[in-house]
Structure 1
């Protein structure tokens, strides 16, 4: 047994590690106590820098300690010579570089480096760019470093064209470099802006970028970075704000305007009201609690209305709607919808460019069948080019996507529902006040702003799970049929003040609490809840809460 090396047991090793950790902790706590003593006494000296440096070397994300060092450097600006101050800043930059080597994604370190450079009299921005290059070689997706690089470029004389070349080099090395694609999307509109929209790029550069991104997704069709950039290139046209509908009710003395995009009360100052050709100042109120809303209402002044004919016009920018009332109590005016109503929000790219992209994606789909990114891009391109012509192909592709990418099945179903509703809106006259969307396999309801003046809505025999959308936008709604769905909650029906009839038959409502929103519908006369899962005692409670409402439950 003599001369044989004694092997330490696991328990002994763990005990030694524990003792070492205790010693380190004791030293760290002692340094913290000394640092906070200097912080409270506002004592800024070399000893304070040394103590805090030891702390930050162990934990570089201690923001309070970095703040002490910031205050120390600001103090040194008034107490040290320029050479001494320069030496302090250079030492700090060197220390920060060491900290970043250990923790390259430390918010505090990058923030401190920004502070030092902004506080120095003559920082070396070129050297900082080289530092960014170095860190991006190790991790080209380090968004902290990308943010810092943008900061450096902003404060130096680097031209956008030089940075575009830099991103091109990184993309050629790695097509999956999402950060480079994103940075490129910020630089190109500056370097090559489109004549009609400064946030987009010119057609010549657009074609070059499409060729670059096609090389990327033909090389690796499963990488999402290039597909996201491709979608940005094709762009989304900005929906212009305009009036959608005007509703006048003399019974309520209400004037209601519905806008294409949500607007604030400040935006409503652009809504100009004319009653019998005379301008009139009104006070607008939203129908919900949000700051930005589609529907805005105001009271109608009886003193300005004639006993016979009345003409009421509302202007908003270049759009206007008008109603002429000849004795009736209610009148509406809506825009005329068509196939172009939603295409304008699909893409800014020219039709010829979209068609070429569609051909390229179809070719790639043949080479890589079942690729979700290719298939989804095909759907969006077909919708942008001609929704009517490609309607069946869009439906089939989305149906296939539900199988190919089952984890996102609900997303594709919701997208299909959105397309179905948009196509229905494009095909009907919005002056019709009864909308029938039954049996459309809808999993969600959207575009309520286009239905704000309807009185009857049929959503039966669909696949809706909840009614949590803002039905309150339907301020004229009197009859709602959502039977034969899979609804488990109806929170969106709250405060439908004109709702008279509600059909909730054959859903999955299971408690009185779920039905609470209907108690806020002041005009409700009849509600049907047959073939649900509501206990009889909850039905009895509902009968007591709504004694004047006919409740059909069996």
Structure 2
């Protein structure tokens, strides 16, 4: 974790662990004895203190200290401040050993809530912990600082300045960035002077976070904060008077325009004429919509030369792809040049970042479909007549798609060919209510569960799901998205039980039953899947009385 590799235990370490375990067992036995017998003497508390130092995550030990605290306060009539100071001292010793102990931090909050109003020492302790390299990102300490700030009514502006100092000291501080977003959310919500209207302040925040990502483009802290900032720009408020809304929309588009420019600057090693032409086309299209880009003439300029290695910054490329798609959605033009650029970015990311290949592949597929469906002209290129029936088919086969989308542009489709792709899901396909013929062969569909959208396609008559991976995976993690027939909430439990009475083994096909039972399929191709055998074929014939063709063979 955090770049520290785990080392194999040596014989000396093993011997030390055995001795530590023996001591722990002895201390735990003593704790349980004292706990069960309500013994809260000084000796018992000292023994407990040794236990929480060695095992600070043993919550029973901390709960025992709470009981002892209350007992000594109510019975012994001890001084409250003295008891609190002693407890805080024990917790501080534990935190010096393990500064990320949940139990220790929770117990410290509980102790302070009992009446100690002095928090000067608490802030000194936090400053000490957060000033250390290992503790600067300790989210427990940051959470406790928020607790102390609220407890003592420390202003959000003062705390915001503290996060600024911490970030300036080290840009790679996730907790400081997160705390900054928490504080700013409150300041913006309260419309505190200097933070409202938010346009000017958020513009300054973009400049602040940009200095972080440009200093170290491969560090993700600033990028996450940048995404949060973008989210704030689109939270506009509706009003009867539309002028404030329109002003916010124009400003929002302007900000995204600026961000595209800055991250293209970060990524672009050279400025080419084609890119200049692309940008001019984008500005021309933007100018046709005065609502969005009244002041965007000089907002997006091409970049100066950057270091070659920065052109391979993965998170910068991902952010740029998202920004370009947001920009394209705002100007509502489906600009081919923008979509082409985004497809190129996702293709590069698939090569640069193999562990997240599937995510980039899915996003690439969605952008490709948006490009295909961007206009009637481009969509017609993928339409053709069936050679036998003469019906019009939309053929999106052999495009290496792993995910499908843009269904709002495909509601008219009756015949769809998605074969020879890499689909592992057909989520959203249920929107195509007119669909009568569907080819999903030669994909990567792993179970009947992923076919759940088919249940709503009541017009479906021809279905080809041959040569997929149905039944190939021993554990299907998606099956829990489909209700089991054993669930008492299913309305078709009794029907399925009646259906399976003559063959006890048929109960293994309940997923297929839930998918196909309401369909009126006349032609089905299902060969090439591991789950398919002769018994399953007989099951389908019984389940689908209107079935006339099965795997290319006419049924009697």
**TM-score > 0.5, shorter chain as reference:** yes
Quote the Cα distance in structure 1 between the aligned partners of 2:63 and 2:542: 60
Per-residue deviation at 1:100? Answer: 0.6
Correspondence list, 1:97-112, <5 A: 97-112=92-107
Task: Tell me which moved more, 472-481 or 524-533.
Answer: 472-481
Per the alignment, residue 362 of structure 1 pairs with 264
Task: Tell me which moved more, 96-105 or 208-217.
Answer: 208-217
Contact map agreement 2:517 2:543 (CA 8 A) in 1: no
Per the alignment, residue 537 of structure 1 pairs with 534
Choose which of 508, 513, 520 in structure 2 pairs with 1:523: 520
Correspondence list, 1:327-366, <5 A: 350-365=252-267, 366=269
Secondary structure of the equivalent of 1:386?
A: helix
Contact map agreement 2:343 2:367 (CA 8 A) in 1: no
Secondary structure of the equivalent of 1:369?
A: helix
Change beyond 3 A, Cα 1:437–1:203 = farther
Deviations along 1:78-132, whole A, 9 cap, x unmatched? 23446x221121011111111111111111000110110001x233223212211
Q: 1:47 and 2:26 equivalent?
A: no
Secondary structure of the equivalent of 2:312?
A: coil
Quote the Cα distance in structure 2 between the aligned partners of 1:15 and 1:357: 55
Per the alignment, residue 326 of structure 1 pairs with none
Per-residue deviation at 1:181? Answer: 0.9
Contact map agreement 1:498 1:524 (CA 8 A) in 2: no
Quote the Cα distance in structure 1 between the aligned partners of 2:430 and 2:207: 47
Contact map agreement 2:130 2:138 (CA 8 A) in 1: yes
Quote the Cα distance in structure 1 between the aligned partners of 2:228 and 2:14: 53
Deviations along 1:496-515, whole A, 9 cap, x unmatched? 47253242255324559685
Per the alignment, residue 214 of structure 2 pairs with 218
Change beyond 3 A, Cα 1:55–1:169 = same
Contact map agreement 1:490 1:517 (CA 8 A) in 2: no
Change beyond 3 A, Cα 1:543–1:25 = closer
Secondary structure of the equivalent of 1:458?
A: strand
Quote the Cα distance in structure 2 between the aligned partners of 1:79 and 1:467: 65
Per-residue deviation at 1:169? Answer: 0.9
Per the alignment, residue 345 of structure 2 pairs with 397
Correspondence list, 1:127-142, <5 A: 127-138=121-132, 139-142=135-138
Per the alignment, residue 63 of structure 1 pairs with 59
Correspondence list, 1:268-347, <5 A: none
Per-residue deviation at 1:545? Answer: 3.6
Quote the Cα distance in structure 2 between the aligned partners of 1:456 and 1:140: 59
Quote the Cα distance in structure 1 between the aligned partners of 2:409 and 2:34: 66
Task: Tell me which moved more, 66-75 or 536-545.
Answer: 536-545
Per the alignment, residue 553 of structure 1 pairs with 551
Correspondence list, 1:377-456, <5 A: 377-387=319-329, 388-389=334-335, 390-421=338-369, 436=394, 438-439=396-397, 440-446=399-405, 456=414
Quote the Cα distance in structure 2 between the aligned partners of 1:25 and 1:410: 44
Contact map agreement 2:401 2:423 (CA 8 A) in 1: no
Quote the Cα distance in structure 1 between the aligned partners of 2:204 and 2:224: 17
Per the alignment, residue 185 of structure 2 pairs with 189
Highest RCO, 1 vs 2 (Cα 8 Å, sep ≥ 6): 1
Change beyond 3 A, Cα 1:27–1:407 = closer
Quote the Cα distance in structure 1 between the aligned partners of 2:366 and 2:212: 30
Deviations along 1:332-363, whole A, 9 cap, x unmatched? xxxxxxxxxxxx9xx99622222122111111
Contact map agreement 2:445 2:468 (CA 8 A) in 1: yes
Per the alignment, residue 501 of structure 2 pairs with none
Q: 1:123 and 2:82 equivalent?
A: no
Contact map agreement 1:466 1:488 (CA 8 A) in 2: yes
Per-residue deviation at 1:408? Answer: 1.8
Per-residue deviation at 1:38? Answer: 2.5
Contact map agreement 1:213 1:230 (CA 8 A) in 2: yes
More helix by share: 2
Quote the Cα distance in structure 2 between the aligned partners of 1:180 and 1:174: 9
Runs of 5+ consecutive residues of structure 1 not aligned to the other structure = 1-12, 241-317, 319-343, 429-433
When normalised by structure 1's length, the TM-score is 0.67
Quote the Cα distance in structure 2 between the aligned partners of 1:490 and 1:214: 47
Contact map agreement 2:105 2:144 (CA 8 A) in 1: yes
Q: 1:143 and 2:139 equivalent?
A: yes
Contact map agreement 1:526 1:551 (CA 8 A) in 2: yes
Quote the Cα distance in structure 2 between the aligned partners of 1:21 and 1:372: 42
Choose which of 493, 500, 506 in structure 1 pairs with 2:460: 500
Quote the Cα distance in structure 2 between the aligned partners of 1:419 and 1:239: 25
Q: How many residues align?
A: 428
Quote the Cα distance in structure 1 between the aligned partners of 2:63 and 2:45: 11
Per-residue deviation at 1:63? Answer: 0.6
When normalised by structure 2's length, the TM-score is 0.67
Deviations along 1:226-277, whole A, 9 cap, x unmatched? 111112111277799xxxxxxxxxxxxxxxxxxxxxxxxxxxxxxxxxxxxx
Per-residue deviation at 1:469? Answer: 2.9
Deviations along 1:288-314, whole A, 9 cap, x unmatched? xxxxxxxxxxxxxxxxxxxxxxxxxxx
Quote the Cα distance in structure 1 between the aligned partners of 2:177 and 2:463: 50
Quote the Cα distance in structure 2 between the aligned partners of 1:529 and 1:21: 58
